[in-house]
Amino acid sequence: MPTNVLRIDASARTTGSISRDLNDRIIERFETNGDTHVTSRDLANPLPLLTEDWIGANFTPVADRTPEQAETLALSDTLIDEIKAADVLVIGLPIYNFGVPAAFKAWVDLVARAGVTFRYSETGPKGLLTGKRAIVAVASGGTEMGSDIDFATGFIRHVLGFIGISDVVFVAADRLMIDADATLASARAAVDTLEIAA
């Protein structure tokens, strides 16, 4: 059985992106390790933001949705199907202004759906997309990962856990403006030692 990998690139840069380069290296590790099928979702091709029509369609019971409402949710359904089909999510995440890129937040808003990717229970929310791993390649100019000004990595860990993906590993290429050479060497070494086998 092939390993199904969902690759997500959140950088606005399509060339010269550190997070994309790290994603390339992570994907290469999977492909070298064995049979791998990669689905790519490039958020430089922007996703739509939520609208009143989208929210109305989402909160209308499936059996009661009009064809127009179903069409409104079609992209969201596709994005969720991409996650469902994946064994591993490989996410390239730059930190912009201390948080995640707006393009990534748009992806989150489209995939975090009550009754579809999570549900509420008597003991709190339960993620429905379980049994998956995530590897997140983080790049930043000056924000140190895990510091008080890093509002990106805690967010992505929480969001992934919220929809059921609690096995999350980070590769850090942070503070690139401080010492790019050492940071890149450390990040690439971390990629080389990632546990790839399922």
11 assigned ligand-binding residue? yes
50: Cβ–Cβ under 8 A, 6 or more apart, which residues?
109, 110
DSSP string, 77-111: HHHHHHHHH-SEEEEEEE-BTTB--HHHHHHHHHH
147 assigned ligand-binding residue? no
Q: Residue 62 has what DSSP assignment?
A: G
Residue 90's identity, in one-letter code, is: V
- Residue 58's alpha-carbon distances to 65, 113, 126, 133, in angstroms, are 9, 8, 18, 27
26 assigned ligand-binding residue? no
Residue 29's identity, in one-letter code, is: R
For residue 163 the two structure tokens come to: 């929809």
19 assigned ligand-binding residue? yes
**Binding site members:** 11, 17-19
Which residues contribute to the annotated binding site for FMN?
11, 17-19
